[in-house]
Amino acid sequence: MAYDYGFEIMVKVYTKNSTLTYQYNKHADKSTEIHFTVPFSTETEKQITEIVLYNINPGHFNSIKRGDKVELFAGYHDDNGLLMSGTIFRTSTPTLEDADTAYTLRVLEGPDYTTLPKLNITFAKGTYAETIVREVARRANMQLNIMNTNFNKRYDEEYTAEGHPLEILSQIAEDTKTSLFYLRGKLTWAFIFNGRNAET
């Protein structure tokens, strides 16, 4: 049946006092029209997702604040997945589009790691890149999703990881020809062209 395989979108906003849930399903008795744009990049700069909610409860306008956590899900009935998780970077004043009221959320994906303190860790010669990456993430208390490494470089000389954790990881990503980027709100370490000929 079409209902069983209907496309669904769900947005959850975690405010100070409650969780607001908005769901689109054209087969449902009560459905919220939702438009969204989720950018994808293999750079470490965080991306901004734009979510537009139509005709929501006017009382929610004042409940939703900058810094509130947002999760965006999409997929088919009973089989949707998380597309993006982040915090509200900016809200907007509701606007009229024809007969509809549009409320736009701009969401910065993932946790904010920019304020982490600098590190200074020395590794013995012969240490592999993945070992350094895992230790830097652990010391910095970063939730790093490590999927795979293109070229797990062995550092023949003593290696000092000094500086901001994101800068350290970015340098090792360059050394190993691996990407460091945000995926579904998580900082991810992966060789995104896995399956093709790996660079060494």
Mean pLDDT score of the chain: 86
- The pTM score is 0.62
Q: Is the pLDDT of residue 67 over 60?
A: yes
Q: Is the pLDDT of residue 1 over 50?
A: no
Same domain, 72 and 130: no
Same domain, 100 and 128: no
Same domain, 34 and 79: yes
Maximum CA pair distance of the chain?
A: 67
Domain boundary among 63, 85, 109: 109
Q: Is the pLDDT of residue 121 over 90?
A: yes
Mean per-residue pLDDT for 56-64?
A: 90
Same domain, 123 and 96: no
Amino acid at 134: R
Amino acid at 110: G
Same domain, 21 and 103: yes
Q: Is the pLDDT of residue 9 over 90?
A: yes
Same domain, 97 and 60: yes
Same domain, 140 and 180: yes
pLDDT band at 43 (very low <50, low <70, confident <90, very high): low
Q: Is residue 195 part of a domain?
A: no
Q: How many domains does the chain divide into?
A: 2
Same domain, 17 and 99: yes
In the prediction, which pLDDT does 70 show?
A: 94
Range of the domain at 27: 9-109
**Rounded CA gap, 165 and 8, in Å?**
38
CATH number at residue 140: 3.55.50.30
Tokens at 114, concatenated: 């920019």
In the prediction, which pLDDT does 200 show?
A: 37
Domain boundary among 43, 76, 109: 109
| Number of H-type helices and E-type strands within the chain | 2, 15
Domain boundary among 56, 88, 109: 109
Q: Is residue 95 part of a domain?
A: yes
Q: Is residue 198 part of a domain?
A: no
Same domain, 102 and 34: yes
pLDDT band at 2 (very low <50, low <70, confident <90, very high): very low
Min mean pLDDT across 20-29, 41-50, 71-80 is at 41-50
Tokens 């350094």 map to which residue? 132
What percentage of the chain carries pLDDT values higher than 70? 90
In the prediction, which pLDDT does 178 show?
A: 93
Q: Is the pLDDT of residue 66 over 90?
A: no
